A and B are shown apart, each in its own frame.
Chain A
């Protein structure tokens, strides 16, 4: 009985030597092409992060309220925390030397979520004293469990972070979020841990499902906060109490809440056609909605281009959000949107992401 290979008979009619040459040729061409491609990509990246900025830069800003954000203009200062004057958001920006994926400022502190390249890639939260100079030395740093997603700082120095954690969850391919609240540089070290461990209730009933995820904290003064809780494909707007370690449902179908400056309204994103064909054709589309807490009235603002960001209140009537550019996802723009039905977004700051209003 002959060995199987020969019995199979068909080996391309090539000699062993010829096969090795063929494989070597494929390998050499593939690796060579990757090398060329890699060098090109490196050059592209260098062009993007050095050289003249696509945005107008300023050495300093006039005093007064401003907006802090991540600068996504190609060239010098790409990815760095930057600021523009609130009076002239389209004007020149002051760029710092601090790179962040997400940034938020409130009270004395600036929270910066960033990615650290390495083997493996890791992530961390840095908290800075927010003074005249941007990002000098961090007050505190702690590791972030996954990819930076959302951050908010409270006026009294609490920092909320949301990270996407992959490979962490029980089903091999699913994802989970980890949302934590910690005090920034407190002597008493306030640490509320993972909000998933809070006592969560939906219409008074405890929610104990393993797949529950929490994201998008918005502080509402004192121990009060809002956040999104999701389980089994449903999302809830939750009102929480840090001291009591509880969260209770306020409404369904609401993600990434943001409390208005006067505390009367909450803006969030809502999935369009939820429960329908989310996976098929067009992917996921989120519109903006505003909930009046006193009356429970919800105003949905339908957008032509869906958003995926935690809204920021510019003032009592206007919302800000970032939108990645379609042709280049590494660049984004910040849009302003009146908080009323039928409103149309307007370009607010070009080449910017993760806006935070500093009053």
Chain B
């Protein structure tokens, strides 16, 4: 039986290779902030933002990629998490709860908001669901903007400032520290914190995808009535998708507030929701690694363009013909269009989406 043989062969050789690969990636990830810091601390901050977006994309992937529910207001959960942290750890209310306590609170509150959005929209699908979720995202933002009177809860458009930075076991994350004569700046500390959170999030996502719940989401995405005929409680499983996805957003929001130390409703506009959705779609809906790659790519590409558009124009024409900001977003948009035209299932499609794509190709006349 050649099939079995090749499989055992594969098993014999893969663990060693896999561990070497993992070790190499780990070293690269640990060394990355030092390399980035050589170019400028700004790049470490961009890497941090990329990881935050990866967290968001992973959360949205649960809703959109796994369960197939189009959510255009996802940033609202990010906002909820961020405001939870800001209100519980800033001079605004005079509360200064520790980081490890607020993070789960933020996740829980975001989770409740997820159910709040999920419950009334259970019967909606596709474009209808997209419109309601879009409205939900806007409602949350408008509330944040206006909950300053009569009782000042969110401080309105001014936002909340002087938010406590992360501090775990006496280590302050906003100042430069030293480990064996090696200077580790604030952003670098946050990088490692975020990296750990991201790894945990990826592990949770992989386990979810391969679990019974993951299979139920898959069934719902494919055919809701057939899923019910399998004995899947679709109501519960859909709410679970919204709740789980929202909690990831809440956690990302909490860390975001701690890193920025200042938040305002401006950070949670519709464009951000669309950005996260683009990351999911570009990376490959339903594929955990693809989604992470999509987030990293879409976080870095605009920044790289920011620093290259001007020098390239200067070199070519001797002066800047087009404003860097304009051309940057233009190129960004073009890149998105190109990817969707040539890789409609995303850069790294999940197995199921790949099949979908193959089927669509087969249907086209040669």
A, B in one complex: no
Chain B positions within 8 Å of A, measured between CB atoms, are: none
Interface residues of A (CB under 8 A from B): none
